Structure 1
Amino acid sequence: MKVFGIDVIKGSVRSRTKRPVFAVVVRENREITEEGEMSLFRVLRRVAAEKPDILAVDSLQEISRDHHELYSVLGILPPETRLVQVTGGEKQVSLAVIAARYNLKFNNKFDPFVEARTIAHVAELGGGCEVIAFGGTTDIAVSRHRSIGKGGWSQNRYIRKIHGSVQQKAVEVEDALKEAILRYERIDQKGYGGLRRVEFHVHAPREHIPVSEEARADVQVRVNARRLDRIHFRPQHSKKRNIIVGVDPGTTLGIAALDLDGNLVELKSSRQMSINDWIEEISALGKPVLIASDVAHMPSSVDKIRRSFHAAGYNPPEDRTQEEKVAICSGFSYANDHERDSLAAAIEAYRTFNNKFRNIEKRIPAGFDLDTARAGIIRGLSIEQIVAGSIPRKEAVERKKEEPSAPESKKDPRISQLEGMVRNLREYVSDLQDELAEKEREIDHLGRIISDERSGRFERIKRDSEIEKRDATIKSLKSKLRKEEKRRKKFIRQIKRMKNYADLQNDQRQIPVKVVRNLTRECVRSVDDEYGIGSEDILYIEKTGGWGNAVISFLRDAGVCAVITPDQDQRLISALRDEKIPLLNSADVPVATRGSIGFAFRKDFDQALEKWKEGQEIFEKEKSAEMIESIVSEYRSEREVEARRHGRS
């Protein structure tokens, strides 16, 4: 295995002036073979030339500014090379924490070469997550490599030559795909004398495509993997994490799961789940290596869970009191006593083995998975057995070859003859199985071709229908976008006018006035839409004809400060006085109009407003007197009617 580990020395991909320089460490066959400084361009060029198994980084932000640039970087990498982020996927942890899992230690955390060595070593050991940006489909495009140009005497012959070359290359690509038994769709764009472009949509990942990119005199071939909607992360090793599970049995059963670092993974309780349901729940959390109980004698239900996982068991020397359990669980939150008891059992079991976990860190070699070593200690294995069990299969075979073989004992000739017959028969069966598998692949390939031919027409109809739906959706969205743009421009103009009007209100000598052409609902609402009509606004009405109660109610609800008119309609004066809206004469308060905005002197306005207030007091007194007189008159008429009724009786 060959691994490139990189870490930034200086610069950044986000900087326009200081491009990044990386510390590069190359590991091959478990040894460092090269170290040096390189730019990102040189790193990618080395990777493209040498095609290592892994390009390892501790953060994707060191090689790309955003996900669009990350797609470009991944597109440059060879299909054989995987990009690995050693600090994790969506949820990242520090490089020091990841290194500690493999018993790797930093000498200097601020040295980029030390970090690059650790990154490469962790990736080689299987740590981190592979960055997945492309799906299981690939697009192949065969097209012209040179422009047709304006032409001359031999223009048509030149075009036929190029289009014929494109058609011939498309046939070669299609033959390669058929030979590899890959399913694909083909789209041709006809040209004069042949084809000007051919596209293949292949249902296979990029590394399985038997076609490589090339560019000849007349034809070019481009191979691009289909991008996923978002970047995915896939752990290099998908094995389940080892966990310690504490169980509190009963009608309400509680479980608490800790990883081998003592971190809480899950804490849960329920009375509606059976033992089998709990076994599935625990299995989803990880691989239990230790099942713990909080009582001295493990209950049968807890033992059943332990045996289902072939895990080790733990129970304390004596039953714990509630006070002891609360002390053990201090620092953790739990919902009920069952969760507390299960959590106390798991924590006590972890603390029992914690000292052994610390001791093995000094004894196991660097690069060994600490989680695997801790699980072995819980199962009762020695350090030698744990380390010996981690030897790769290939190395074990080589060691076995190096060991001297024991002298063979003499065998019966008949046994040797029968063993030879068995070997021959097994080889014959293996050949037949290979031939059968080849026939089945051929039948499957032919079946897919027939199915594609039958479904081709349906796929075209379905595709055309989808295109029509998308076109209609695009047209509708464009219409909505145009309407929203008009509304936005309208609001921008309105905000600008309102801001100018607000600035005018700060003048000490003059006051701004909003001009209304006519006292009708349409004109008033037009001004309201343009500037807004609210409290402390002064309206100048150029014409009062055609007003109604609806307009008066609108002015009352808006809470306008005053209304200025050139003519004085007695009905309008009475209606506005009833609503306590000041109505001033433009002869007393001259207004200079400028479009929808007017100006009046503050001194004139204040004098006219005082005059209106005096008249309003007189109006309200007269109105009160009229109301009292009406009440007295009504009372007299009622008394007269009542007196007549008594006189008749």
Structure 2
Amino acid sequence: MVVFAGLDANPAEAHSAHSTFSLTVIDEDGAKRTYKEVRADQLVRMIQENGVNVLAFDNLAELAPFLNRLVFELSKLERNVDFVEVAYDEPLESKAQKLGLKVEGRLSPTASSEVVAELAKRGLGKKLDFFAPKTLIKIVRRRVPGSGGSSTLRFKRNIETQIKFLAHRIKEKLERAKLDFDHHVRESSGGYSSAVFVVYTPVENLRGIVYSSVSRDYAVKVERVHTKFKYKPPANPQRPLIVGYDPGMTTGLAILDTEGNLLALYSSKNFDRMDVASFCLRYGKPVIVSTDVCTPPQAVKKLSSSFGAKMFYPPQDLSVQEKRELVRRFDSQKIKNTHERDALAAAAKAYLFYSQLLHNTKQKTTLEGISAHFLEVLELVLNGKSVTAAISEIKEKYAVQEAPKAQPQVSQSFVESRVKELESELELLKARVLEYERRIVELNEQKNSLEAKITTLLNERDQSLRKEREVAILEQRLNALQKVLEEEQTKLKAQNVLFERLLWMVKQSVNGKLLFVNILEDLTLSSVSAVCTKKQEVLYVKKPSSFDKEALALLKKAGVLGLIVPEKEVSTPFVFEEIEMPLVSVSRVEFYELPGVNVGAVSSDVIKTISEEKKELQKRVRARKMEELRRMLVEGGAFED
């Protein structure tokens, strides 16, 4: 189901920072919903809540005071919405009356929004492109490293390496999707500190390719780019232009005509290739696009290709000194920054390279009477044709009749004057040659000096890297030793605790309050034999249920009075009763175990407890034996019950 909405401004607040709108939503089945005071920042939510597919306006002229604010808010829409202007060619009231809609007098904002929505529902109006067919992808740091030593540098390099890796991945994805894009990066020692991609397609086409995301160290932002409502018609669409282009985070642009005159010099952030093309077309048609580096950036290649222009680049990167020389003849106050200077230097270098060709082409085109087609002739010449062949092709194309060539009348005085001018120019050129030769010597000296500096810097860098590696190795060793030290300190603390407990036990033993006992895991012959080499009064046994009869006999022989056992093992098996060996629960006595050794200590009162338990055990054994004897006598007939 298609949902239509009409929007109109409330006039009392049209020029206010708090302007509101009237909004009417109409479903395909005719159901209407009207909202009278909607702020710009509420508009997106209402459009999405109502599932609006088409948003219609009266005409953009009435929305002019707050159009950019409105478009900014609409850029936040997460769904595809078409924008329509219904009253672009005649007043809204007239259009509504022609279609049979009831209109009485001037419409209120609410009524106007309803009429606009109704007209859009009937398919009237022209579609608006509020958003340029391009998308901005930014990769930026979320955490900025503070000042510090080598650890801070490693942290910074880690983030920059991640951004560089992510930028390469996004570039590969865009290339696989065969999308047209430009990208600019801000390089740093560890990789990239930021990266920007301008993709020449709507944001909807990037779904499934690149997403906005946020991590601990960096963020990826995918943003649609809204149209800037600024249009300036070209001053002269047939004027050939020489464009100097310095792409980057901040773009520099310089435009010269074929006489070398500066027409425009501009720089801006987020000034992408589409903006550059629109800016150039205000002044004419680019025929030469130039750069100041010997390896042209992709953005320069693409701009040149889009205009079918000749691309110019120097045999080697222009030095700062050479750029200053190239822009010296222009007004220095117009050059605001290095981006504009670089663009202007590139354009000036291209002009100097092609100046003779431009002059000859202009002169011959004028003499042949086709100066109106100078642009087309120049494009052919720049693409490799001779001036004569290019002129012939254009004349044939437009069937231009040859103008009779004027026979100039040259006076003797003119010839003499011209000779003097040429002699002056010759002297000037000789002076320039000498100056250039001097500059070559200076540049060679500078080159040698810079090469020496580079060698020194490379050596210093290598030393610095070696030091960083050594520091990293030492830090690793220090961390390992620190870990070992902490482990040893933990062990030492445990040993100290054990020693203090043992010392206390010894003192208590000397005072007759504690009795040292051996600790056995079970009552196998091997474990009992190991401790019964001398007389033992008491033993602690963890698993008395695991025993050998020979071991029990050995306990009896060694004079063991009783066994201390865990509480769950206290139930006396019959075999222990036979040898009158009492089992005393550890919960009934004070028992101290020394960790790491098979020795413990028990309160000396245990002897008394074991003796009492042994007496009880002997009573139970005698009683059991008397009961067995009585039963035997009864069974033998000696007694009757």
Q: TM-score band (shorter)?
A: 0.3 to 0.5
Q: Which has the larger radius of gyration?
A: 2
TM-score normalized by structure 2?
0.34
Tell me which of the two structures has the higher relative contact order, counting C-alpha pairs closer than 8 angstroms and 6 or more residues apart. Answer: 1
TM-score calculated relative to the size of structure 1: 0.33
